[in-house]
A and B are shown apart, each in its own frame.
Chain A
Amino acid sequence: MSLKLELLTPELSLLIFALLVILLDLGIKQKKVLAGVSILGLLVSGGFVLTLWGRESASAFNGMFLVDPFALFFKLLFLIAAGLVILASQDYVSKFARFQGEYYALILISAIGMMLLATTGELISIYIALELSSISLYILTGFLKDPKSSEAGLKYLLLGAVASATLLYGMALVFGLTGKTRLTEIAQAIQTIPLTTLLDSPALLLGIILLACGFGFKIACVPFQMWVPDVYEGAPTPITAYLSVASKAAGFAVIARFFYTTFGVPDWLSLNWGILFASLSAITMTLGNVIAIAQTNIKRMLGYSSIAQAGYLMVGLAAVGVASMADTLGRSGLLFFLASYTLTNLGAFIAIIAISNKIDSDLIDDYTGMGSRAPLLALGLTLCLISLIGLPPTAGLIAKIYIFNAGVHYGLLWLVVIGVINSCISAYYYLGVVKVMWLGAPVSEEKVPSSWALRIVLALTCLGVLVLGIIPGKFVQIAETAVRIFTS
């Protein structure tokens, strides 16, 4: 057996750079260098991902490590998200000047965890990857010295640990039923068990439900959403952005692969979890949108909005479940929506970082008159909010059409109707912020300055949102290529 180390190059290189950042931090006084090294690491890793793109799907370590277009797509997404977050942190890191090295290293390590999560096809390594990304995020959430941040970190850790224990119990049940830990082998074992035995024993269904609970925490769907607002509010804002996009995308990556590969056949089983996700999706988007209306803190509002977006994303998962092996639209819709959501939400958070850092407040009321105080930032934030609603000419519109199309195509019309109604509800609070920024009277004439790093990142994300929205063809093609999950 050859090791096929070249398949691991993206993760290995990133790990080396993360260790390098930790070591350099001990000797270097000029901390800006560390950000540079981290970005370099992400670029190198991204380069390796691109060299693997377009090659035959392959696996290493006895099917534990799967390199397929699906995994590579997510790896690129995480690398981009981590890079944008690091760039967006440039102003913010002055709050913890002494610990910048740890901050960057932890972002890189959690990115490694997420990349592994998207690429593993085996229970043990899924658990390890999940914890690698989660534990780094717990620390990052509690990174600030103020009690709010510690409190957020503690809540995130305690609830996350309970969720991962639940997930593990589900894994133990699935392992016990089949005696295998590799997803493809579990799938084969499930198919060989006689149908009556499966229906008689609750072990498999209980296992699926427990797994859905554990992963549901990661993507923050109802009823596992209660940590979101507190953690989003307390965490350092760049980390909130990171949590809301990368961590969520990692959750969707692992759910899509896990459920599609393992519980995709027989059809009745697939239909079961498809309906489970469909109903959770309906509840999630409705609850997220309704509670978001009442929020006064913009970080909390975006927290609830991200719950609602998870609801839209779950339409894709439900489509995958309902269509089972015939599905392609569900997964490609999910991938395109995740790409668009990542750019959009990061953009919104970057604008908030730039504004809040200067006016020292997260309250929506304090954003009044931002249109005249910081026109560029307000414009970027407006664009991102419009994309979150799903209005033209932005990525959000195409993404929603795409994923709702998948829902309709596989017979989930009721869910899509709920989704469209929810989009209308969400317009109310997103546009509320836009109204405050452009029509409200500014509290002072003072301009809100922003650093070049933030401006560049905001410009990049806004450009991405517009490009995905105006010429989506190429990216739809990429998403369609990337639905191939390696299953042999």
Chain B
Amino acid sequence: MSVSLEHYLILSALLFCIGLYGALSRRNTIVILMSIEIMLNAVNVALVAFSRYIVPLVLTGQVFALFVMVVAAAEVAVGLAIIIALYRSRETVDVEQADLMKG
């Protein structure tokens, strides 16, 4: 049995679902950010696998994955900065307590 495209896609789908579940169910904002990273990395796995198996001669998928990584880093940097700002005023990183606005 060799590792084929399906295996990578199943891995990627599982990772994506784990990340999505984490992002929607966890309360700690840092953990939510980490879950989002898992989702993005799941996409990266799929992109690189597709690139390797569907179009082995061009590196589009790999390049796409690089860009995703860079954008993810920027997103996390901004996310952490906003969390710090919120922490300074509220002394919490719990999303359930970030509830000033409702309705």
Contacts and interface: CB of A to CB of B under 8 A. Distances in A.
B and A form one assembly = yes
Contacts of B47: 172, 175
A292 to B, nearest CB: 11
A179 B74 contact: no
Contacts of A138: 78-79, 82
30 contacts: A123-B64, A124-B64, A124-B67, A127-B64, A139-B78, A145-B89, A147-B89, A147-B90, A148-B100, A150-B82, A150-B89, A150-B90, A151-B86, A151-B100, A151-B101, A153-B85, A154-B29, A154-B82, A154-B83, A154-B86, A158-B36, A169-B16, A172-B12, A172-B43, A172-B46, A179-B50, A179-B54, A179-B55, A179-B60, A295-B103
Nearest to B49: A176
Given A135-B71, A154-B82, A166-B39, 5 more contacts: A123-B64, A151-B101, A158-B33, A165-B40, A181-B64
A161 B47 CA distance: 18
B36 A176 contact: no
Interface stretch (A226-234, A393-401, A476-484): A226-234
A230 B85 CA distance: 17
A147 B86 contact: yes
A157 B68 contact: no
B86 A165 contact: no
A142 interface: yes
Contact of A161 (B36, B64, B89): B36
Contacts of A233: 101
Nearest to B32: A158
Interface in B63-103: 63-64, 67-68, 71, 74-75, 78-79, 81-83, 85-86, 89-90, 95, 98, 100-101, 103
Contacts of B89: 145-147, 150
Contacts of A179: 50, 54-55, 60
Given A131-B71, A155-B98, A233-B101, A175 B85 contact: no
Interface footprint category on A: 35 or more
Interface in B31-46: 32-33, 36, 39-40, 42-43, 46
A162 B39 contact: yes
A180 B54 CA distance: 10
A152 interface: yes
A441 interface: no
A200 to B, nearest CB: 15
Interface string A163-204: 001101100110110011100000000000000000000000
Interface footprint category on B: 35 or more
B64 A135 contact: no
A146 B101 CA distance: 13
Contacts of B43: 165, 168-169, 172
Interface centre among A138, A147, A172, A234 (most CB of B within 10 A): A172
B98 A151 contact: yes
Contact of A176 (B39, B50, B78): B50
Interface string A104-141: 00000000000000000001100110010001001100
A218 interface: no
Nearest to A176: B50
Given A124-B63, A127-B67, A229-B103, A176 B46 contact: yes
Interface of A: 123-124, 127-128, 131, 135, 138-139, 142, 145-148, 150-155, 157-158, 161-162, 165-166, 168-169, 172-173, 175-176, 179-181, 229-230, 233-234, 295, 297, 300
Contacts of A181: 60, 64
B40 to A, nearest CB: 5
A304 to B, nearest CB: 10
Contacts of A147: 86, 89-90, 100
B80 to A, nearest CB: 10
Contacts of B55: 179
The 3 closest A-B pairs by CB, nearest first: A176-B50, A165-B39, A147-B89
B92 to A, nearest CB: 10
Contact of A175 (B64, B71, B74, B100): B64
Contacts of A168: 40, 43, 68
A181 B68 CA distance: 14
B67 A162 contact: no
B34 to A, nearest CB: 11
A127 to B, nearest CB: 7
Contacts of B90: 147, 150-151
A182 B60 CA distance: 11
Contact of A142 (B16, B23, B74, B85): B85
